[in-house]
Amino acid sequence: MLEISNNVQLADSEVELSAIRAQGAGGQNVNKVSSAVHLRFDIGASSLPAFYKERLLALRDSRITEGGVVVIKAQRYRTQEQNRADALERLVELIRSVTKVEKARRPTRPTLASKTRRLEGKTRRGAIKAGRGRVDF
C-alpha cells in the first residue's frame, strides 16, 4: 500500500512496475542488468478520490500522457530496488503536489513613502543628466 495521506492509500496492484535497462554510461553493468524501473499509473482507473483525479488530469506535466497515464522512469541508482523505491516516491510526491492549494494573490498598492522616494530618485537622476550638457561660459 502506498500512503498518500492519512485517509488516501493506493493499492500496489494499481501501479505497474517493469524493469528495463538503464541508459547512459556504466559499461558492462548497464548493458547486462535491467536496473532501471518504468512505472505506469492510470489515473482514470485508479481508486483515488475524484478531487485528486481532476487535479492530476488538469496538471500540465510531461510525465502525464494524453490518456491520463503517469509514466515515471527511475534510473538514478545502481540497484533495481532503489530505483523502484525512487519511482514510487516520485509518484507519491506528484499526487501530493496537487493537494496543495495556492493562496490567491491580493494586489497591493505602493505606499506614499515609496512613491515619494521613487519620484525623488527620478528628479535627482534627471538633474545629473541635465548637468552633462554643453557648458556655456
* Domains of the chain, first to last: 2-97 (3.30.160.20)
Distance between CA 117 and CA 63 in Å, rounded? 48
pLDDT tens column, 46-97: 788 888 888 888 888 888 888 888 889 888 888 889 998 999 899 888 888 8
Burial of residue 39, with CB atoms counted within 10 A of its CB: 0-12 exposed, 13-18 middle, 19 or more buried: buried
CB 21 within 8 A of CB 30: yes
Distance between CA 113 and CA 116 in Å, rounded? 5
Phi and psi at residue 18, in whole multiples of 5°? -140, 145
pLDDT tens column, 4-63: 777 887 777 778 888 888 787 777 777 777 888 888 988 878 788 888 888 888 888 888
CB 69 within 8 A of CB 97: no
